[in-house]
Every structure is written in structure tokens, then in C-alpha cells.
Amino acid sequence: MDSIREVDFLVIGSGIAGLTYARLTARHGKTLILTKKNRAESNSNYAQGGIAGVMSDDDDVRLHAEDTLVAGAGLCRPDAVEVLVNEGPERIRELMSLGAQFTMHTNADGSASLSLGREGGHSRNRIIHAADKTGWEAERTLLAAVKDEPNLQILEHYFVLDLALDSEGQCVGAYALDPQTAEIHLFRARTTLLATGGCGQVYKHTTNPAIATGDGVAMAWRAGVDIANMEFIQFHPTALYHPAGKSFLITEAVRGEGGILRTSNGDTFMENYHPLGALAPRDIVARAIHAERIKRGEPCVYLDITHLPAPFIRERFPTIFETCLSLGIDITEQPIPVVPAAHYACGGVQTDLAGQTAISGLFAAGEVACTGVHGANRLASNSLLEAMVFGHRAAVKAVEESGSTLNAEPFAQSGNGDSESDMAAVEEIKRTINDEMNDNVGIVRNDNDLSSVLNKINAHMMQATIMVAEYKPSPNLYEALNLSQVASLITRSALQRKESRGLHYTTDHPEKLESERHDTVLSLSKGYKQ
């Protein structure tokens, strides 16, 4: 151990959940945020569409709750949904008071009001947005709000290896690697928040940034925290398909503004799958696109907004317009080639309504957590809302619960070998996990493929575990371990659910069953084998 540093509140991750939490805790004690990249690099930053919330007179929190419950396919926690929809508007107004600049609409009388969009599964226009980069605007606002907070520090490029536990199993901080010096530091804290975001990099095609390697879920699992509902991986129906470009999210708001899904010959098809057509819940749209691609043997379908005025398209979707144009696609004149891509994990580290886990001193908020809000399928634009609502609630509880014991068990130092010398093996683990998950644990699944791929994933997880024991810690090595562990959790969860519900669809069990209406909870303490 190279050094020990003590703080009151430790935050792992600098997205909206982590920043919301840290802004509050910093008023009550020394708060430190650790982030493995730049402070603004997070899943939050890439959220285009908006934040769902009841902000108009023709809407009602009961309707927002009903839409959330319907999308969640019977697995949402009603009490968590009530918390989300009732406290959400206050968090949105708070963000606006901090300076968030959302898109406004000029009313007939000349007054201005929030421009409210609609996305799939919503019964009202309730999506607050900042053009097509809402996550960026929320992240910018919160970073500016904490910039001069004397009790708050953000350390960039620190890779958190594992949570620090005391002899009684209580979380008392985390061990982090400074890649610049290769030193491991113990950051001891009275309470620790996991706000590490999602795990989209488990899959070959994802809208998530490169940092989304499931680190929070994996380190919580190694610490003995229960993980719930990991089979429910949301595939965003519309990611840009282009051989020369990386996966890029085409926000659901494009369909909300009238975008039409078509096949290569121009035919529409969503009316054959759901009464809401292109605005059906994401799981239904993703499966419909998958089915059309397979039926026609084509790599993608097309999202057409060429019937909308060009100036409106450029103003409403500037980021999408510029990105597509850089790849030779003028979306004012050409339909956008799209394909589903891994987007959001509805499961994760199991918490209560205050973000507390079963381990004393450990909280989780945002995509890494499973609060029960999303059930089997997240309603569009509820993610940023959840991050703010439960990040806030976790902070309030953490301030109340912060204890005084800070005696951490020593970090189990790995071997002396250099993992960089075996980089090819590390990259092969990552590549194989991506391919296997993409081919076998995607939008449509079956038991045989799941069982087969689980054996392969577990073999790679064992290989990564051995390498962690033999080599000095490195971000690449730990990301390979984390990806393999999370891939195993997703696949094992999918095998345990013997029905099709929400985001989990299996051809062996195509019906939704009342007997299967329960969470899938994996627990090391109850005999789950690594």
C-alpha cells in the first residue's frame, strides 16, 4: 500500500448520480470523487434525449407512474416508481436553478415555457431536453455547481480496483490505482457511493462510452453485495449503422418528432408489431428491427425524417446532424441507417429506496444500481431522472448514517509480473466476451446458447482472475476481469428466468408467466459460484 487518505464521503464515478450526491455531501464533510477518465466522461454525458418529468398542467405524476409501470412489464417496485415521479420535478427545477439551459418554446402570448418532447411509452409530452445533448448539459451544470466547493475534490484518471472492507465486512472506502505512478492508494471513507454507470462494453455494439465496463457491479459482487435483474439489458433500437463510424446513439426523440422506421425498400413495419408503432416501448421496437433484419437478411433498417423541415432538423438535432454529415449522410435528405445496440442495464447492485446496499457504509445510485424503478424495461428518459432523484436520496441518507470506523483490511497485493507484457491475452478476453455476448446474449436468446456461452465466459473469467493474481494491477487487466464477471452475471441471470418479459426474450420460453414475476437475485452468500 503506497498511501492512505481519509475523507468523509467517497464517490466512485463523476456522472450525474455521483455529482448530485457529492454536491450535497460536501456541505457536511470532506468529499472526494474518483473517476477513471476525465471528470466529464460518463454515460450521463452521452444521454441525448432528455429527462422525463411532470412539468406541465396537462400532465400528472400518476400518468408518469403508470407509463413507467407498463414499460417495466410487471417488475417495477411501485414504491420506487412513486419516489421517482413525485420527487423528479423538484430535482429538475433544482438543476434549472443551477443554470441548466433547456430548450424553450415560445407560446402564443409571447411567453416562454419548456419545450416538452414525447418518446416511446409516454402518454404525454414530458421530456425536458437541451436540443439533442441533454446529458451533456446536465453534466456541465453540475460540474460548474461543484467547481468552487471547498469541501469537494475530483481526482481524474484514478482506476478503482476494489472496495475496502473492514474485518466485519463493512465498506470503509476503496483501493484505487494511479496509472501515472502505478501506486495503489487506500481512500478511507465513512460512506462510499458507487456511481460508476453501466456495462455496455460487455457487448460488441453499444451506445456507451469506452469507460462503461461494469466496474461498479463487478467490485460490488466481489465484496459480497447481491446483484439483481442483470438479464434486463436494454438495447436501444436506433444506433447509427455505418462501417466507418463507431456506434452512435440516434435518440428516441427523433421518433418522437415524427421519425418513421422503414426497410431498405421504403416500407414501414412497426404498425405490424405494436399499436404505438415507432413509439412503442424500446424492447418491442428493438425486437421488431431485429426480426426485420433477420427476415430480409439485411444489416440495418432506416429511420426517416426527411419529411420534416430541414431547418427544424438542424436545430432540434444538431449533434446527430453533424455526426451523420461527417459520415456522408445528410439526414435532411437521406434516411439514417440504424441498428439496435446495447444501451442500458436495468439491473445492478441491489439497493433500498435510499440507495443503501446490504453492506454497511456502501451506497449505489444511477445505472449501476437496481432500485426497482425500471423493472424489466426502462421507460425512455427515466435514467437521468433516476440518477438525480436517487443520488439526492443517497446523499441525505449517507449524511445521516456516516459512521466512525475506518479500519480497512489490507489490499491483497497481486503478483509482480507485468500485465502489459501479456496485453494480447487481455485484449483477447475482451474481444471474445464482446463477440459471445453479442451473438448469444442479445435481443433474442435461447437456453442452449446461454448455457454454452456461460461456460466460455466463465473460462475467460478464470483466466482473468489468474492474471490478476500473477500481475501487477492495471486498468486494462481489471477491465477484462470486470467485463468477464459482469458477462457471467448477465448470462446466469438470463438462464434463471424461464419466461420472456420486458428486455429478456427467449425462444424457449416465449410467454410471460405470473409464476416468474420476481427479481432475479444472485448472491455469493447463497452459493453462487464465481
110-163 pLDDT tens trace: 888 898 988 878 999 999 988 777 888 999 999 999 998 999 999 999 999 999
Which has more pLDDT, 84 or 409?
Answer: 84
| pLDDT at residue 523 is higher than 70 | yes
Q: Which residues contact 94 (CB under 8 A, 6 or more apart)?
A: none
Q: Summarize pLDDT for 427-453 with one digit per residue, the tens.
A: 999 999 999 998 899 999 999 999 999
Question: Would you tell me how many other CB atoms lie within 10 Å of the CB of residue 403?
Answer: 11
Instruction: Check: CB of residue 8 under 8 Å from CB of residue 402.
Output: yes
Sign of CA dihedral 506, 512, 513, 516: positive
Which class for 81: exposed (0-12), middle (13-18), buried (19 or more C-beta within 10 A)?
buried
Largest Cα–Cα separation, the chain: 71
Instruction: Check: CB of residue 21 under 8 Å from CB of residue 394.
Output: yes
Which has more pLDDT, 131 or 21?
Answer: 21
Sign of CA dihedral 237, 240, 242, 244: negative
Which has more pLDDT, 222 or 48?
Answer: 222
Instruction: Tell me, rounded to whole angstroms, the distance of Cα 97 from its chain centroid.
Output: 26
* Model pLDDT, residue 107: 84
Domain boundaries, the chain: 3-231+346-401, 240-342, 419-517
If you count them, how many residues does the chain have? 530
Sign of CA dihedral 441, 442, 447, 452: negative
Among the options 77, 190, 255, 282, which is catalytic? 282
| pLDDT at residue 529 is higher than 50 | no
Alpha carbon distance 511, 514 (integer Å)? 10
CATH topology of domain 240-342: Flavocytochrome C3; Chain A, domain 1 (3.90.700)
Does domain 3-231+346-401 fall under CATH 1.10.10.10? My reply is no
Alpha carbon distance 255, 2 (integer Å)? 52
Alpha carbon distance 509, 522 (integer Å)? 21
- Residue 114: beta bridge partners? 104
| pLDDT at residue 65 is higher than 90 | yes
> What's the CA angle centered on 202, arms 506 and 51, to 5 degrees?
85
| pLDDT at residue 419 is higher than 80 | no
Alpha carbon distance 285, 492 (integer Å)? 25
Alpha carbon distance 372, 352 (integer Å)? 9
The answer to whether the pTM exceeds 0.85 is yes
Instruction: Check: CB of residue 292 under 8 Å from CB of residue 267.
Output: no
Q: Summarize pLDDT for 156-167 with one digit per residue, the tens.
A: 999 999 999 999
By C-alpha distance, which of 226, 178, 223, 218 is closest to 198? 218
Grid cell at residue 39:
471528470
Sign of CA dihedral 44, 47, 52, 57: positive
Q: Which residues contact 451 (CB under 8 A, 6 or more apart)?
A: 495
pLDDT band at 41 (very low <50, low <70, confident <90, very high): low
CATH number of the 419-517 domain:
1.20.58.100
Average pLDDT over residues 341-350: 96
Alpha carbon distance 478, 121 (integer Å)? 38
pLDDT band at 331 (very low <50, low <70, confident <90, very high): very high
| pLDDT at residue 43 is higher than 70 | no
Residue type, 89: P
Mean of the per-residue pLDDT values for the chain?
Answer: 91
* Model pLDDT, residue 526: 66
- Residue 504: beta bridge partners? 501
Instruction: Check: CB of residue 130 under 8 Å from CB of residue 141.
Output: no
Active site residue 282: yes
- Residue 348: beta bridge partners? 228
By C-alpha distance, which of 368, 470, 489 is closest to 426? 470
pLDDT band at 502 (very low <50, low <70, confident <90, very high): very high
Question: Would you tell me how many other CB atoms lie within 10 Å of the CB of residue 109?
Answer: 5
